[in-house]
């Protein structure tokens, strides 16, 4: 694979970033220091169709030389829709039901009988074999050669295979022997020690099974893109905020389950830093959902992550998602209350106003009815929305609520705001952070319409809308580093006399493995930065805190006190899992600032329903706003990928990079 970063500035003619969402596929082209953007409807039946179509439209011709960076929802959708491969699981005899037993947490706290989603592997497809490794890596029971020889025949019919044996993180010999035996099957193999060499057998098993479940579909999808896109190099956005090679993404697709949202966080932080904001809350309101994340100087990561009811124990950016987006459907529940989401109109048919046969009133339809999303300015005026088509369906909801269509539309927006406000409080207030100390960075196609209201509800006095907010996730893919994380569970206590030497020795091995993997992916060793982390805990605790490796035991005491209000300085600290992260900068972002004509913007007037009445407000096009320009609300700022609403009591100012800063007056 051509090296992503071993390129002098100017040698890369173009870099294209593509983010596939539930409603739109966003394409961003960086060429000659300038950005060009394109939004087109997603193609849920085959997401690659929209990607390839977008490349054909935005590039100069089939002979164009470019690098493709891609954020994919294929793995996410396969899990949520339960449309993955038939997986067969190989594990230790007696442990076939671990994916079903799980942990003792209850999914429905107050239900007498809780209900979990069914496992991704049916009981008849789980095969236990003899052989056992102990927690220290000792062989308790050897593998049975005859059983190994018969294993491929037992797994006939599998579309993908997961191999998970106890304590393989301490000794991988048994898992590797099984994997070697199964190579002749010719189906994707997901081996836990290669994917997640860490303890906690349930989470490791679940992660490996998830990888196996989506691997065939992802592999087919990515291979088609690599083959038909014409790109010199294809990289995929990872859930941890870094990009990975297309070959690795095809083998380890579990790393892409938060691909698009992770790009949004990286892009928002890049624009926030450019504007002088280190502490931000990202607010990504797209067509299907809203993703929020707290970034106190850097993205926060977590391993306590579930998707579709399945734990995935890989490091991901800590993102909280709610089913409230522009395409979220409004309805009246059996109790007569107005509900919004999580069901969405999606890309097909989409909101009613798109004129594609939709019949359910969405958040977007409510904005169009109230004038906050002008029907003649959609996608920069390239498309006209059908406001009249919304009327009969909105009136049905209004009639059921006993109010006017305008009041019903305001109610829809209010319910959506309440859901998004709760999500923002979960990641800030409920974790001990004051939102007033953060800047809300709003993006996504609908983010700018709700930014000021939500900032006000949170008690924050400022928000920011970066350039091209509807394509910010794609921009984050341009800004992301290339990364590789290598980990290993060690369970080394400071009570041991050689604890520091043992930790240092394992880190040396992890660094060597991380560097070798990055070099294999085409990244020059001279561009790499290495970072060491330790997941530590007091002995006999159940869960860990992640701290930098330097003075990790001292740092753990301090972080434990900050997180939980106390520390035990005389207690031994246990290094549970060691992590080495290798990173390198992606393609050079030689981005030029926007070019301003210097003339005053053209101000138009439009009708908007505000606080119970129709009023005339100013509307301006964003590309006509120059640095230091200010505009008081109520007003609208229009652009190709989004619309920003400035309520009464708010003002926007424009910085040198074209970002909009909303401030309460």
Residue 19 resides in a domain: no
Give the chain's end-to-end CA distance (angstroms, integer).
53
Q: Contact 653/661 with Cβ under 8 angstroms?
A: yes
Lowest mean pLDDT among 192-201, 207-216, 336-345, 438-447: 336-345
> Do 457 and 431 sit in the same domain of this protein?
yes
Based on the structure, what is the number of domains in the chain? 4
Of the residues 187, 220, 242, the one at which a domain ends? 187
Range 391-406 average pLDDT = 95
Residue 224 resides in a domain: no
Of the residues 584, 603, 627, the one at which a domain ends? 584
Range 3-18 average pLDDT = 60
Q: Contact 315/533 with Cβ under 8 angstroms?
A: no
Q: Contact 44/348 with Cβ under 8 angstroms?
A: yes
Note the pLDDT tens digit of each residue in 264-282.
Answer: 999 999 999 999 999 999 9
Note the pLDDT tens digit of each residue in 648-662.
Answer: 999 999 998 889 999
pLDDT at position 636: 96
> Do 487 and 580 sit in the same domain of this protein?
yes
- pTM reported for the whole predicted model: 0.88
pLDDT at position 617: 95
Q: Is the dihedral of CA 558, 561, 564, 569 positive or negative?
A: positive
> Do 454 and 496 sit in the same domain of this protein?
no
DSSP string, 393-427: HHHHHHHHHTS-HHHHHHHHHHHHHHHHHHHHHHH
Average pLDDT for the chain: 90
DSSP string, 613-653: EEEEEEEEEGGGPPTT-EEESSEEEE-SS-EEEE-TTEEEE
Q: Is 107 helix (H, G, I), strand (E, B) or coil?
A: coil
Lowest mean pLDDT among 17-21, 137-141, 316-320, 346-350: 346-350
Residue 356's pLDDT band, with cuts at 50, 70 and 90, is confident
Note the pLDDT tens digit of each residue in 537-579.
Answer: 999 898 899 999 999 999 999 999 988 899 998 999 999 999 9
Note the pLDDT tens digit of each residue in 25-47.
Answer: 999 998 877 888 898 888 888 88
pLDDT at position 5: 41
Residue 412's pLDDT band, with cuts at 50, 70 and 90, is very high
> Do 462 and 392 sit in the same domain of this protein?
no
> Do 437 and 305 sit in the same domain of this protein?
yes
Report the alpha-carbon distance of residue 180 to residue 182 in Å, rounded. Answer: 5
Place of tokens 């407000």: 617
Residue 598 resides in a domain: no
pLDDT at position 62: 67
pLDDT at position 597: 67
Q: Contact 350/325 with Cβ under 8 angstroms?
A: no
Q: Is 422 a residue whose pLDDT tops 90?
A: yes
Note the pLDDT tens digit of each residue in 153-195.
Answer: 999 999 999 999 999 999 999 999 999 999 989 999 999 999 9
Range 69-75 average pLDDT = 87
Residue 591's pLDDT band, with cuts at 50, 70 and 90, is low
Note the pLDDT tens digit of each residue in 455-474.
Answer: 999 998 899 999 999 899 99
For residue 533, give the H/E element and its range: strand 529-538
pLDDT at position 505: 95
Residue 291 resides in a domain: yes
**351 backbone dihedrals φ, ψ, rounded to 5°:** -60, 155
pLDDT at position 396: 95
Residue 381's pLDDT band, with cuts at 50, 70 and 90, is confident
Q: Is 1 a residue whose pLDDT tops 60?
A: no
pLDDT at position 665: 85
Could you check whether the bond before residue 179 is cis, i.e. omega within 30 degrees of 0? Answer: no
Note the pLDDT tens digit of each residue in 471-485.
Answer: 999 999 988 888 899
Range 66-89 average pLDDT = 88
How large is the C-alpha radius of gyration of the chain? 26
> Residues of the chain with pLDDT > 90: what percent?
65
> Do 489 and 560 sit in the same domain of this protein?
yes
pLDDT at position 661: 96
Counting Cβ atoms within 10 Å, is residue 382 exposed (0-12), middle (13-18) or buried (19+)?
exposed
pLDDT at position 357: 87
Number of neighbours of residue 604 by Cβ within 10 angstroms? 14
Q: Is 487 a residue whose pLDDT tops 80?
A: yes
Give the pair of three-digit tokens for residue 110. Answer: 């107050």
Q: Is the dihedral of CA 71, 74, 79, 81 positive or negative?
A: positive
> Do 318 and 420 sit in the same domain of this protein?
yes
> Do 539 and 556 sit in the same domain of this protein?
yes
Query: Which is higher by pLDDT, 591 or 341?
Result: 341
Q: Is 129 helix (H, G, I), strand (E, B) or coil?
A: strand
Query: Which is higher by pLDDT, 102 or 366?
Result: 366
> Do 475 and 487 sit in the same domain of this protein?
no
> Do 424 and 310 sit in the same domain of this protein?
yes
pLDDT at position 41: 86
Residue 153 resides in a domain: yes
Of the residues 551, 584, 617, the one at which a domain ends? 584
Query: From residue 643, how far is each of 290, 372, 543 by CA, in Å?
Result: 16, 8, 44
pLDDT at position 6: 43
Residue 118 resides in a domain: yes
Q: Is 296 a residue whose pLDDT tops 70?
A: yes
Residue 593's pLDDT band, with cuts at 50, 70 and 90, is low
Residue 617 resides in a domain: no
Give the domain extent around 541: 482-584
DSSP string, 289-339: -EEEEEEESS--EES-EEETTEEE-S-EE--EEES-STTEEEEE-TTS-EE
CATH code of 278's domain: 3.30.420.40
CATH code of 570's domain: 3.30.1490
pLDDT at position 11: 52
> Do 348 and 398 sit in the same domain of this protein?
yes
Range 591-598 average pLDDT = 68
Query: Which is higher by pLDDT, 542 or 295?
Result: 295
Residue 9's pLDDT band, with cuts at 50, 70 and 90, is very low
Q: Is 537 helix (H, G, I), strand (E, B) or coil?
A: strand
> Do 314 and 423 sit in the same domain of this protein?
yes
Residue 56 resides in a domain: no
């Amino acid at each position: 694979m051509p090296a992503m970063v071993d390129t002098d500035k100017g040698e890369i003619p173009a870099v294209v970033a593509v983010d596939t969402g539930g409603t739109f596929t966003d394409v961003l082209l960086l060429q000659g220091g300038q950005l060009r953007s394109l939004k087109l409807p997603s193609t849920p039946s085959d997401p690659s169709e929209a990607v390839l179509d977008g490349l054909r439209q935005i590039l100069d011709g089939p002979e164009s030389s470019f690098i493709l960076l891609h954020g994919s929802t294929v793995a996410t959708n396969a899990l949520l829709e339960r449309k993955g491969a038939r997986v067969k699981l190989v594990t230790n005899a007696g442990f076939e039901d671990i994916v079903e037993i799980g942990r003792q947490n209850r999914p429905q706290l107050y239900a007498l009988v809780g209900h979990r989603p069914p496992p991704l592997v049916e009981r008849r497809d789980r095969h236990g074999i003899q052989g056992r490794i102990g927690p220290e890596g000792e062989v308790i029971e050897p593998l049975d050669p005859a059983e190994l020889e018969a294993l491929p025949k037992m797994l006939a019919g599998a579309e993908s295979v997961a191999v998970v044996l106890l304590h393989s993180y301490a000794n991988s010999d048994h898992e590797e022997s099984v994997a070697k035996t199964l190579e002749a099957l010719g189906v994707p193999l997901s081996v836990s020690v290669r994917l997640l060499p860490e303890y906690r057998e349930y989470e490791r098993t679940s992660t490996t099974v998830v990888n196996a479940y989506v691997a065939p579909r992802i592999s087919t999808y990515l291979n088609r893109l690599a083959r038909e896109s014409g790109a010199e190099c294809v990289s995929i956005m990872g859930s941890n905020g870094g990009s990975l090679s297309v070959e690795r993404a095809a083998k380890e697709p579990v790393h892409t389950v938060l691909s698009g949202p992770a790009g949004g966080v990286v892009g928002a932080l890049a624009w926030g830093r450019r504007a002088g904001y280190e502490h931000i809350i990202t607010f990504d309101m797209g067509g299907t959902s809203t993703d929020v994340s707290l970034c106190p100087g850097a993205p926060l990561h977590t391993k306590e992550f579930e998707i579709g009811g399945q734990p995935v124990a890989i490091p991901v950016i800590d993102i909280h998602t709610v089913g409230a987006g522009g395409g979220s459907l409004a309805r009246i529940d059996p109790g007569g209350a107005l509900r919004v989401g999580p069901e969405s109109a999606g890309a097909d048919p989409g909101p009613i106003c798109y004129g594609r046969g939709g019949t359910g009133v969405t958040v977007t339809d409510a904005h169009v009815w109230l004038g906050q999303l002008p029907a003649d300015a959609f996608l920069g005026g390239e498309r006209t929305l059908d406001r009249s088509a919304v009327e009969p369906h909105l009136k049905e909801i209004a009639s059921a609520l006993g109010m006017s269509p305008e009041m019903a539309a305001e109610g829809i927006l209010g319910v959506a705001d309440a859901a998004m406000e709760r999500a923002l409080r979960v990641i800030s207030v409920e974790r001990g952070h004051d939102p007033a100390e953060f800047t809300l960075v709003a993006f996504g196609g609908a983010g700018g319409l709700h930014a000021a209201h939500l900032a006000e509800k949170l008690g924050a006095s400022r928000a920011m809308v970066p350039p091209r907010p509807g394509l910010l996730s794609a921009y984050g893919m341009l800004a992301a580093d290339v990364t590789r994380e290598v980990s290993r569970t060690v369970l080394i206590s400071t009570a041991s006399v050689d604890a520091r030497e043992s930790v240092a020795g394992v880190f040396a091995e992890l660094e060597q493995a991380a560097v070798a993997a990055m070099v294999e992916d085409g990244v020059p060793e001279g561009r790499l930065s290495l970072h060491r982390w330790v997941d530590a805990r007091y002995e006999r605790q159940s869960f860990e805190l992640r701290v930098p490796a330097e003075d990790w035991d001292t740092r753990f005491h301090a972080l434990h006190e900050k997180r939980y209000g106390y520390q035990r300085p005389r207690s031994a600290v246990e290094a549970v899992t060691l992590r080495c992260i290798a990173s390198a900068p992606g393609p050079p972002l030689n981005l030029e600032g926007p070019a301003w004509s210097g003339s005053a913007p053209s101000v138009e007037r439009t009708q908007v329903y505000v606080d119970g009445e129709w009023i005339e407000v100013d509307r301006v096009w964003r590309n006509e706003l120059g640095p230091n320009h200010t505009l008081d609300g109520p007003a609208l700022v229009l652009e190709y990928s989004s619309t920003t609403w400035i309520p009464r009591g708010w003002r926007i100012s424009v910085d040198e990079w074209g970002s909009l800063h909303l401030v309460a007056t």
